[in-house]
Structure 1
Amino acid sequence: MLCLCSPAMTPRQTAPAPTHAPRDPTVRNVWLLATCQALSMSSQSMLMTITAIVGGSLAGDPKLATLPLAIQFLAMMLSTVPASLIMKHRGRRFGFTLGALFGILGAGLGIEAVYRADFLLLCAAGFCFGVFAAGAMYYRFAAADTASDAFKAKAISLVLAGGVVAGILGPELAKHTRELFAPVMFAGAYASIAVLMLASMAILQLIQIPLPKREAEGGSGRPLTQIAAQPAFLVAVLCGMVGYGAMNLIMVSTPPAMLACDHTFETAAFVIQLHVIGMYGPSFFTGSLIQRFGIHRILAIGALLILACVAINLSGEAVEQFGGALFLLGLGWNFLFVGGSTLLTRTYRPEEKAKVQAANDLCVFTTVAITAFSSGAIHEALGWQALNLAVVVPLLIVLAAVVRLRGHHRRAAAAAE
């Protein structure tokens, strides 16, 4: 007897299992990286609050107060390229985890430094913190790795928004832990940094960022010199350098300047809170602002905000002036840094990202290291007003470069029509 059933209706056959496209990990990665950013920046805002004060007490010379911070930023500069290459070959998770281990080591050295009253150990701790910070600065690019072109700006800004938590948590931890192991001041602050680093390391194990196929196969793309010749690349790097350098030069010397004006440590910590909130609070909407108003306007506004910070700092030394100026300083940094990072992602192909990101961050953190080294010396030798005036000309150069880039993009768009 012949079976007249079609093969598709044969009872023994099963329908093929439905196929599903791999789930996009971008949103999950963004929230995980934002959490790690919050923990990282909480640690770094604590260091911004306490390091110059601890350094001054251990060194015995006000000119050396910011040296441990300068060494931290020098280590960031030296570690940006190795960090990028490690992540290229071993993945983001491995690179971030290795950086967190250096952060824990730095916290341990910091505890030992204050117990022994050893300034050199504090400098060694700063170096370890710099290696950690160099890796953590790639959180923003890691968020963009799996994001669409339309979502890249938002992904970068949302990760940086994790720093809002740091604006509250970091200085508060500094205030509440500085006497935790009294009479040894600030040992508790370094111990709390170790706890934050351990939590960050655990969360990092959950991120999912595969290597791009071409990068895994060893393709390197265009020469870096060709990429760097693009006007957009030059402006992106310039905005990062000047934005971060100006912010660092003023911010590093703010706590000692406030103490010199007879303001309390708690007041200085509050001003740093305002500053960090200004740095990262706008990140919830900076990406949307870039999409709506254009990247050129956001970059220009960032430079103008830092110039406004300088004007306020020159007007007086009341708490309100320190607080208002540092808030605007953070806001201007946010627009320049998020805008510059977003602009940079438009200048390279997937297989070129490691070397381009490394080159960008090397330039940025070389500037940061220089400003950290010079901040304490300029403040001590020339005063608070001269320190603020030092950033005016670089910011005017940024404004001119952004205006010129906008004109270049308009001409290119007109030629393409």
Structure 2
Amino acid sequence: MRINEDLTKPVIAHAAKLDWVPSPAAGVDRRMLYRVGGEVARATSIVRYAPASAFPRHVHSGGEEILVLQGTFQDEHGDYPAGSYFRMGTLIAGFYSAYVQSYRFAATDGLTGAGRDRAISRVMVGGLIAAIIGPQLVIWTRNALPGHAFAGSFLSQAMLALLAVPILLPLRRPAGSAAVHATAISARPLAQILTSPRYLLAVATGVVSYGLMTFVMTAAPMAMVGHGHSVDSAALGIQWHVLAMFGPSFITGRLMARFGKERVAAVGLLLIGGSALIALSGVDIAHFWGSLILLGLGWNCGFIGATAMVAECHSPSERGKAQGANDFMVFGTVACASFFAGSLLHSSGWSTVNWLVLPAVAFMLVPLVWRAASLPRNR
């Protein structure tokens, strides 16, 4: 969609003459003044919220600014009466998050087999801690600097990130990793790595596991509100989902060591498929919550299993290019899935979102189960 996209030309728009365009969230409509893109776009709009309506949690990679014209705008951080203006920028935070994703691979340096699997799983436990501390930190510090709303929140999160620096700086590669330099000449080019069946299977498992989770999770809160459930119920459902995503990390590494990473990843995909079936069976609050919890459990097994598979199918000298290409494909898919979920929900409904999960799971399970069946149970 392109509305008044040419910024070199003057534009005069009379908002009262523009139609209200429904958003993916029930009760939230827009009068679009400027827009380049679909539901995820660079845009300027007048937004109207019906009483008790809400737009679920979402991300603006380029930032967001809001001016309250009438009534009171409310989010998880507080209430903003008419005349309130605030702006949030997240681009640099996105760069930071991209680097943090490398921690799970960095933890495997110098490790092999079950030790590597457990290291990846333990790093993912940090997501559980972050899910608890992060939101509370924002709430506790949002008014820390009088006259500068949320400045304290951004500073506190920056300080939290800096706490990792004295831990990371002393770290050195294990002594055995000196072989990296000796074998660098034998490192395969990226094009050759990308044609390796084992590597492609590992990457595809991560793409499908994380992509489907994001696809459904993005649409779920909007669907809950659209089917008459409260915003609080939707928020609580997402909280249970996040706990299910990271909580099992305490034992996922042990499960991979005992049964094999491919088998654990396959179980994760089955759980994601099961979450879609629960969602298709009804729209009561129990259906939504049960689906989200199962979705989180499936993501944990699928994504951690896929990460361990990637770590196993490249040499130490290839890890930078192999791991980087994996994350580019996984998180590129995640971004596309989050963009697509809202527009599909709006145009085709919650059932369509979940029906699309099932063929993706089946498509991925066939090679994954074949690979798992060809391997010994304990390696």
TM-score above 0.5, yes or no = yes
Q: CA deviation at 1:404?
A: 2.2
Residue type at the aligned position of 2:106: A
Query: Is 2:365 aligned against 1:403?
Result: no
Residue type at the aligned position of 1:209: L
5 Å-filtered alignment, 1:242-321, equals 242-321=208-287
Q: Deviations over 1:292-317 (max 9, x none)?
A: 11222211111110011101111222
In 2, Cα distance between equivalents of 1:349 and 1:203: 28
Instruction: Return the structure number with greater helix share.
Output: 1
Query: Is 2:123 aligned against 1:159?
Result: yes
Equivalent residue number for residue 205 of structure 1 = 166
Q: Compared with structure 1, are the counterparts of its residues 390 and 120 closer, same or farther at alpha carbon in structure 2 (3 Å cutoff)?
A: farther
Q: CA deviation at 1:251?
A: 0.5
Query: Highest Rg: 1 or 2?
Result: 1
Q: Alignment length, in residue pairs? A: 312
Q: CA deviation at 1:114?
A: 3.9
Identity, % of aligned pairs?
A: 32
Q: Compared with structure 1, are the counterparts of its residues 172 and 270 closer, same or farther at alpha carbon in structure 2 (3 Å cutoff)?
A: farther
Residue type at the aligned position of 1:300: A
In 2, Cα distance between equivalents of 1:350 and 1:342: 14
Q: Compared with structure 1, are the counterparts of its residues 159 and 193 closer, same or farther at alpha carbon in structure 2 (3 Å cutoff)?
A: farther
User: Is the contact between residue 70 and residue 369 of structure 1 (CA under 8 Å) also seen in structure 2?
Assistant: no
In 2, Cα distance between equivalents of 1:179 and 1:266: 21
SS where residue 250 of structure 1 aligns?
Answer: helix
Question: Could you tell me the TM-score, scaled by structure 2's length?
Answer: 0.72
User: Is the contact between residue 276 and residue 330 of structure 1 (CA under 8 Å) also seen in structure 2?
Assistant: yes
- Where does structure 1 lack aligned partners over 5 or more consecutive residues? 1-51, 73-105
Equivalent residue number for residue 192 of structure 1 = 153
- Where does structure 2 lack aligned partners over 5 or more consecutive residues? 1-23, 43-57, 70-83
339-348 vs 293-302, which deviates more? 293-302
Residue type at the aligned position of 1:231: P
In 2, Cα distance between equivalents of 1:274 and 1:294: 27
Q: Compared with structure 1, are the counterparts of its residues 276 and 166 closer, same or farther at alpha carbon in structure 2 (3 Å cutoff)?
A: farther
Question: Could you tell me the TM-score, scaled by structure 1's length?
Answer: 0.66
SS where residue 171 of structure 2 aligns?
Answer: coil
Q: CA deviation at 1:355?
A: 0.3
Q: Compared with structure 1, are the counterparts of its residues 200 and 134 closer, same or farther at alpha carbon in structure 2 (3 Å cutoff)?
A: same
User: Is the contact between residue 240 and residue 292 of structure 2 (CA under 8 Å) also seen in structure 1?
Assistant: yes
Query: Is 2:209 aligned against 1:219?
Result: no
Q: CA deviation at 1:243?
A: 0.4
5 Å-filtered alignment, 1:9-408, equals 72=61, 113-114=65-66, 125-170=89-134, 188=150, 192=153, 194-207=155-168, 208-210=170-172, 212-213=177-178, 219=184, 221-408=187-374
SS where residue 147 of structure 1 aligns?
Answer: coil
Q: CA deviation at 1:209?
A: 3.4
Q: CA deviation at 1:266?
A: 2.4
In 2, Cα distance between equivalents of 1:358 and 1:297: 24
Q: CA deviation at 1:372?
A: 1.2
In 1, Cα distance between equivalents of 2:218 and 2:368: 27
Q: Deviations over 1:226-262 (max 9, x none)?
A: 3233322111101100001100001012222222233
Q: CA deviation at 1:115?
A: 5.9
Residue type at the aligned position of 1:144: T
Instruction: Return the structure number with greater strand share.
Output: 2
Q: Deviations over 1:133-153 (max 9, x none)?
A: 211111111211243443111
Q: Compared with structure 1, are the counterparts of its residues 334 and 146 closer, same or farther at alpha carbon in structure 2 (3 Å cutoff)?
A: same
RMSD of aligned alpha carbons: 3.5
In 1, Cα distance between equivalents of 2:247 and 2:226: 29
Q: CA deviation at 1:265?
A: 2.6
Q: CA deviation at 1:215?
A: 5.3
Residue type at the aligned position of 2:171: I
In 2, Cα distance between equivalents of 1:59 and 1:246: 31
Q: CA deviation at 1:223?
A: 1.6
